[in-house]
């Protein structure tokens, strides 16, 4: 069944009122990859009446009022992507397309959608049920944060939107507990993963520098952010609070880690795996190409790349589903009328972290002074791809399955560090799970920049490329690696991009195409570096390219053809690349 989006649908279900209404910046696709669909199905399973208003017209009342008011709360999300990232490129240009909008035209998601939707509700329902913010935009803006689009430090989105509560991270059980507490009239302040505003200073927890302090002082901003970052682990985190004038933003510790049974129960909810019928004549939703008939095997990422927000949203501990649950989901796909025998992806934030996690971390929490796989893999992390190999083989053997792709992205350093099953895992990927090209994300090749990014050294990339090329040849397949790079990351200069260009020609034998300019999104270490011009781990000052012209030049240095690049002052590099191209 689809979650209702109209009054007619609620009436057909026999519902004379609604408990919860979700408002989202995405089209409604009934899939476990759609946040409001997952939450909605989860809450319905637990007895609540839920509806969705997808992509409401924010300039009128027609959409936001069509279902009336919920009894318990409104749930507001900007969608699967921060609305400012969805609407603008790193150089500030308006994006013309939107993968989560029917027809692909970017005209249905407002800037700062979380705030706009909350104001829309307040405008048309004066004294309404509580408004609860969620999704990645709210999650990463839950504290005072640097906002790239205005080049200022903004308040937490909770007081900015004038909402009542904010639930951060992967919030199924937090949302359920909040719904139950509101229904039963109980206090909500002990719910984990919750942000709320208090008129009184909390008696326990860690007080962060106030909003006024962090707005005026970059050193105070750094202290705030690092304390915030250090308190995102469910086991070790403390309550945090931050003063805003005469009120306090309170952030409770993250929700407890899910058991295998709990995460299985979430992903085994029944989904239609297609867009709601209201979009039948509105054009294709391009996100379907990626998420339809893909499977989430786990959550979280212990990679902690400094520019990535996944660990801040999903967590730094990997929580995996059981093989039985994954196989049951895929078997259901084989009965879907639109299924053609192809599984588009089997993975998570990083595909090959499934069933790999430190037992000590699960019991006592993250290590404060070291990371799991940076600058190298910790000896306490049991990297073994054996269970992943077993899972992929079982999926291939399901009747009706023709092809299984692993498209989530791989940590190639982990494959190399697995002395037991790493080579066999890569062989499996090469033989069975690549569609001609395997996408990897080295991001750069200069080790000084890689350290600032939190990425493995360039030696690991060369080692992996050698292994991949060898196994592809042995399998008799013409396959290649596609590399993703970042330009204008904090610390990166034109000199570093020229070095990357030369390396790509000499060692990788490519003219790079997949390059993005670094976007400072809220709540990442790299954004902290961008704003402060300082490495927070060492105190070292670093260069930061902030001009649009300079950023574009760094990207174009890598995109340029060998002929254009030959104009470089480095004549030796000129000759090598000209030879390669000719």
| Bind-site residues for [4Fe-4S] cluster | 301, 305, 308
Across 126-268, the runs of DSSP E, i.e. the strands, are 131-134, 145-147, 152-154, 165-167, 194-198, 206-207, 240-244, 247-251
Burial of 536 (0-12, 13-18, 19+ CB in 10 A): middle
Question: d(Cα 422, Cα 91) in Å, to the nearest integer?
Answer: 39
* Residues contacting residue 93 through CB under 8 Å, at least 6 positions apart: none
Is the bond preceding 382 in cis, omega lying within 30 degrees of 0?
Answer: no
DSSP structural state of residue 298 = E
* Residues contacting residue 286 through CB under 8 Å, at least 6 positions apart: 97, 99, 104
Question: d(Cα 410, Cα 418) in Å, to the nearest integer?
Answer: 13
Across 287-423, the runs of DSSP E, i.e. the strands, are 294-296, 298-299, 319-320, 342-343, 345-347, 403-404
DSSP structural state of residue 279 = G
Decide if 356 contacts 372 (C-beta within 8 A).
no
Which of 245, 234, 168, 238 is closest to 207 using CA atoms?
A: 238
Residue 125 phi/psi, 5° resolution? Answer: -135, 95
Question: d(Cα 402, Cα 352) in Å, to the nearest integer?
Answer: 22
Residue with tokens 């997952």: 38
Decide if 169 contacts 188 (C-beta within 8 A).
no
Two tokens at 261?
A: 């049974």
Question: d(Cα 240, Cα 204) in Å, to the nearest integer?
Answer: 9
Decide if 58 contacts 122 (C-beta within 8 A).
no
Two tokens at 30?
A: 């009934």
DSSP H helical segments within 365-457, as ranges? 386-396, 412-417, 422-432, 447-453
Q: What do you get for the CA distance between the two ends of the chain, in Å?
A: 58
Residue with tokens 């192809």: 342
């Amino acid at each position: 069944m689809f979650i209702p989006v109209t009054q007619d649908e609620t009436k057909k279900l026999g519902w004379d009122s609604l408990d919860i209404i979700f408002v989202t910046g995405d089209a409604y696709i009934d899939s476990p990859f759609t946040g409001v669909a997952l939450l909605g199905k989860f809450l319905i399973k637990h007895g609540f009446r839920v509806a969705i208003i997808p992509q409401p017209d924010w300039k009128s009342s027609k959409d936001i009022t069509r279902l009336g008011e919920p009894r318990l709360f409104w749930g507001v999300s900007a969608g699967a992507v921060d609305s400012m990232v969805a609407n603008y490129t790193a150089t500030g240009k308006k994006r013309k397309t939107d993968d989560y909008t029917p027809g692909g035209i970017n005209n249905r998601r407002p800037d700062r959608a979380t705030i706009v939707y909350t104001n829309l509700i307040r405008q048309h329902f004066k004294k309404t049920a509580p408004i609860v913010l969620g999704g990645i935009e709210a999650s990463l803006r839950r504290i005072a944060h640097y906002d790239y689009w205005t080049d200022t430090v903004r308040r937490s989105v909770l007081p900015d939107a004038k909402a009542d509560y904010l639930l951060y991270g992967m919030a199924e059980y937090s949302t359920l507990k909040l719904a139950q507490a509101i229904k039963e009239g109980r206090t909500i302040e002990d719910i984990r993963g919750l942000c709320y505003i208090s008129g009184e200073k909390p008696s326990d927890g860690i007080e962060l520098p106030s909003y006024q302090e962090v707005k005026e002082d970059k050193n105070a901003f750094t202290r705030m952010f690092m304390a915030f970052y250090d308190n995102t682990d469910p086991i070790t985190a403390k309550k945090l609070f931050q003063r805003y004038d005469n009120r306090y933003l309170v952030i409770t510790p993250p929700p407890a880690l899910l058991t295998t049974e709990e995460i299985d129960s979430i992903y085994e909810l029944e989904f239609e795996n297609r867009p709601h019928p209201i979009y039948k004549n509105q054009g294709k939703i391009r996100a379907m190409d990626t998420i339809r008939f893909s499977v989430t095997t786990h959550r979280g990422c212990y990679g902690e790349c400094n520019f990535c927000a996944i660990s801040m949203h999903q967590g730094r501990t990997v929580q995996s589903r059981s093989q039985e649950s994954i196989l049951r989901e895929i078997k259901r796909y084989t009965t879907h009328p639109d299924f053609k025998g192809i599984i588009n992806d089997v993975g998570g934030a990083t595909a090959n972290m499934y069933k790999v996690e430190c037992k000590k971390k699960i019991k006592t929490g993250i290590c404060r002074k070291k990371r799991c796989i940076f600058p190298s893999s910790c000896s306490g992390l049991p990297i073994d791809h054996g269970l992943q190999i077993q899972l992929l083989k079982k999926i291939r053997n399901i009747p009706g399955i023709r092809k299984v792709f692993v498209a989530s992205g791989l940590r190639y350093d982990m494959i190399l560090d697995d002395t037991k099953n790493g080579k066999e895992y890569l062989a499996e990927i090469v033989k069975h799970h690549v569609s001609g090209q395997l996408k990897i994300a080295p991001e750069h090749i200069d080790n000084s920049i890689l350290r600032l990014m939190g990425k493995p050294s360039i030696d690991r990339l060369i080692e992996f490329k050698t292994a991949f090329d060898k196994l592809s040849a042995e399998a008799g397949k013409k396959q290649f690696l596609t590399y993703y790079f970042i330009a204008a990351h904090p610390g990166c200069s034109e000199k570093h991009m020229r070095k990357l260009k030369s390396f790509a020609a000499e060692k990788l034998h490519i003219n790079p195409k997949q390059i993005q300019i670094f976007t400072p999104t809220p709540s990442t270490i790299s954004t902290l570096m961008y704003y402060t011009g300082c490495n927070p781990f060492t105190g070292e000052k670093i260069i930061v390219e902030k001009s649009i012209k300079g950023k574009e030049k760094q990207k174009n240095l890598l995109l340029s053809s060998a002929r254009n690049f030959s104009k470089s002052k480095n004549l030796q590099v000129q000759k090598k690349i000209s030879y390669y191209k000719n």
